[in-house]
Amino acid sequence: MQTVAARVIEHANSQPEGALISAKELLHLGSRAAIDQALKRLEYEKELMRLGRGLYVLPVKTRFGTRAPAPEKVVERLAASRAETIVPHGAAAANRLGLTTQVPTKLVYLTSGRNRHFKLGAQTVELQHAPQWMLLPTQPSAGQAVRALAWLGQKRAAEALTVLKQKLPESTLQELVALRPALPGWMSRSISQKLVANG
């Protein structure tokens, strides 16, 4: 007969990369005490990586060795399982949009949930609580531009918007204009001056 640990690892292997493994979701495989014990043992044997209390992920085995799952996949699963909005930080958005050549050294995400962090192998992933206007999940590209502007700040907003006006499709620029009521005054003004006044 299979041990609880073997059943847990079999279940983990059937999940996509970055899937979260928690005791609560494994109770069909054994008692809570047996599951907790199996998870601890699997962590000790490096079969699972611990993210936080009672939360684990399966490392990815490649021909070059074992690595942590991709942070964006883990964050995606975390967002779905906790019904949170989690988006990349403004520094990452600014880099992606070509507004800065600075590459963020830390993996920081903005969340509608609480502040917390977890380790993924050698990397630390930080989740920072952010106001609703910074999370704007309905328009991904416009939302990314908003987070980049927030990170760059008021003084650099006009210059950044001039660049974005050349780079972004008209539909995204219109989404940005439509978001003005939800944004801080200075950002709303900058968008009006750069994207509306100049047509």
pLDDT of residue 53: 83
What is the model's pTM? 0.83
pLDDT in tens, the chain (199 residues): 578 999 999 999 999 999 999 998 899 998 999 999 999 999 999 999 998 888 999 999 888 888 999 999 999 999 998 889 999 999 999 998 999 888 777 899 999 999 999 988 888 999 999 999 999 766 678 999 999 999 999 999 999 999 999 999 999 999 999 999 999 999 999 999 998 864 4
pLDDT confidence of residue 129: 96
Domain ranges of the chain: 4-67, 71-197
Relative to beta strand 123-129, strand 60-62 is: unpaired
Q: CB neighbours (10 Å) of residue 162?
A: 13
Q: Going by DSSP bridges, is the β-strand pair 86-88/107-111 parallel, antiparallel, or unpaired?
A: antiparallel
Q: How far apart are CA 111 and CA 59, in angstroms?
A: 24
Confidence (pLDDT) at 103? 76
* Burial zone of 127 (CB within 10 Å; 0-12 exposed, 13-18 middle, 19+ buried): buried
How many alpha carbons lie under 13 Å from residue 50 in its C-beta half-sphere? 14
The strand pairing partners of 91, in sequence order, are none
Question: Do residues 13 and 56 touch, judged by C-beta distance below 8 A?
Answer: no
The CATH number corresponding to 4-67 among 1.20.120, 2.30.30, 1.10.10, 3.10.450 equals 1.10.10
